[in-house]
Amino acid sequence: MKAKVASNVRSLCEWAAALEVRGIPATTLSHAALVLGDNIAAALSAADEPEICAWHERAVAARSADQATIWRAGAPRVSLAEAAVANGLAVTWNELDEGYTRVAVHPGALSQPLVLAAAEADGAPLGAMLRAVVGAYEIGTRFARTWAGTLPRLHPHGVYNAVCAAAGLALLRGAGAAELERALTAAATMVSPGPYSHPIEGALVRNAWPAAGAWLGLFACELARIGVGGLPGGPYDVFDRGLGAPSRPEELTDGLGTDWTITAGYHKTFAACHHSHAAMEALDELRARHPELRGGEKVEEVVVAGSEMALNFANAEPQTTLAAKFSIPHAVAGTLAYGSGSADIFSTAGLHDPRIAALRACVRLEQLPEVKPWPYNRPARVTVTLRGGRSLSAACEAALGSPARPLTAEQVLGKIAALSERDAPGLVAAIIALRAAAEEGRIPELSCRDWVRGLFTS
């Protein structure tokens, strides 16, 4: 098995290194632009969080170069590494980044902060940046599918952070197959085995794992350029032997060049762990049909039936906003009290809201007897029992924004606009133009440095 993993990692590297932007389907490039915009907007949405502000201020005060942009109002410029870390810290903070549900991994959030910072610093053209975005996503999803058994013990932001970031940077800089293999096998030994329990319990360090991956990915690529890498079978040693996840090496290569995984991701409509979205939608349906549920005063019990994985998100007493975002009881309580559209459910105000706190204690999770395969593997059935004994029930087979019910491009652009129009008023127009160019097969001969500068001007 180790030899097969080593062989398939090499084949994956050979394919990725030979990938040319003109060989990527126009629809794939267009969607990659949408994914990139969604993740930049997710990072911008966290710009006012006190911890993010504090880190950005530190980075600006200590900046060692003027190479790349921190994604926030004013677009301050710092060194490549400082920008990648700052944007990596923000990109998943509000749980609004794009992701991939066939296995739980967020290759875009884990690679794009470094890819875009390096593309700015190097003056790389837009085509090279898009190629790296697509290639890094492909490599990241294939690593995660090969070692899916790291879940639910370990969080993918830690397990695949360095690999995704290294893949993106190596491809951006035109690494050959051997150099890319050195970068990936080195990065695989630098993973952060962050426990999945950390976000559920509210440990904010979980938000730092993408930032750590950006730095480690940069380091792995610099090592690879001077000939330093890991062993060909190193990923097997790390993920199979070290992390206890049996490998499925065929996932590294099956469908390469035909099954573009970046087109099979999801875009979030709620600022919370995706496993709570179906329950929130089901409750919205109940609240619309039964106005007496609104506010939750008449509710005695709520039973949320979902997948086996969903049972992990049962923390009914979250102590931080991150824990609230990973708490199905909190998501359900907030939706009952105010509706899923309330922006305050997962804020500090929502965390301490007495109405939400009282309703959290009424929520119980149980496992559905049968769950369909992906992309229908995150369903929910919600049963609300009112005081007096009457029960009301609704189900959601797949949340809006998932691969089973994808958002339209216009809906994703609307989300991007809502999150970015204050701090980066040019982002939506830039993504629209980039998508149109990709669909017409003509990526503009524009440097990423100039492109990023345009995001922050109207």
The pLDDT value recorded for residue 445 is 85
20: which DSSP letter? Answer: -
Residue-wise pLDDT for 188-229, tens only, equals 999 989 999 999 999 999 999 999 999 999 999 999 999 999
Position 73, amino acid = A
- Predicted confidence (pLDDT) at residue 50 exceeds the cutoff of 90: yes
Q: Give the domain extent around 374.
A: 274-396
Domain identity same for 209 and 298: no
Number of domains composing the chain = 2
Domain identity same for 449 and 356: no
Domain identity same for 263 and 279: no
Position 196, amino acid = Y
Instruction: CATH number of the domain at 177, please.
Output: 1.10.4100.10
How many other C-beta atoms can be found within 10 angstroms of the C-beta atom of residue 136?
Answer: 30
8 assigned to some structural domain: yes
Residue 35's alpha-carbon distances to 32, 101, 294, in angstroms, are 5, 14, 35
Give the position of tokens 């590494």.
81
Domain identity same for 105 and 176: yes
Per the CB < 8 A criterion, the answer to whether 117 and 452 are in contact is no
Mutual orientation of helices 126-146 and 26-45 as an angle, nearest 10°? 80
Q: Give the residue from 354, 372, 396 where a domain finishes.
A: 396
404 assigned to some structural domain: no
363 assigned to some structural domain: yes
- Predicted confidence (pLDDT) at residue 120 exceeds the cutoff of 90: yes
Residue-wise pLDDT for 256-274, tens only, equals 999 999 999 999 999 999 9
Q: Which residues pair with 384 in a beta bridge?
A: 302, 392
401 assigned to some structural domain: no
26 assigned to some structural domain: yes
Mean pLDDT of 125-133: 97
138 assigned to some structural domain: yes
433 assigned to some structural domain: yes
Domain identity same for 237 and 307: no
Instruction: CATH number of the domain at 298, please.
Output: 3.30.1330.120
Q: How far is CA 103 from the centre of its chain?
A: 12
Q: Which residues, in sequence order, are CB contacts of 16 under 8 Å at separation 6+?
A: 135, 138, 139, 167, 171, 177, 180
Position 135, amino acid = G
Domain identity same for 309 and 349: yes
User: β-strand 299-306 against 77-78: which pairing, if any?
Assistant: unpaired
402 assigned to some structural domain: no
Domain identity same for 362 and 427: no
Residue-wise pLDDT for 77-117, tens only, equals 999 999 999 999 999 999 999 999 999 999 999 999 999 99
The pLDDT value recorded for residue 342 is 87
Mean pLDDT of 365-393: 96
305: which DSSP letter? Answer: E
The pLDDT value recorded for residue 343 is 81
- Predicted confidence (pLDDT) at residue 122 exceeds the cutoff of 80: yes
Domain identity same for 356 and 413: no
- Mean predicted lDDT score pLDDT of the chain: 97
99: which DSSP letter? Answer: B
Mean pLDDT of 417-434: 97
Q: Give the residue from 347, 370, 396 where a domain finishes.
A: 396
Domain identity same for 430 and 288: no
- E strand or H helix at 103, and its extent? none
Q: Give the residue from 348, 369, 396 where a domain finishes.
A: 396
Distance of alpha carbon 248 from alpha carbon 236, whole angstroms: 10
Domain identity same for 171 and 207: yes
The pLDDT value recorded for residue 315 is 97
- Predicted confidence (pLDDT) at residue 170 exceeds the cutoff of 90: yes
Domain identity same for 153 and 299: no
The pLDDT value recorded for residue 210 is 98
Domain identity same for 239 and 314: no
The pLDDT value recorded for residue 452 is 97
The pLDDT value recorded for residue 154 is 97
The pLDDT value recorded for residue 458 is 74
Dump strand ranges (E) for 64-214.
Answer: 68-69, 77-78
Q: How far is CA 271 from the centre of its chain?
A: 12
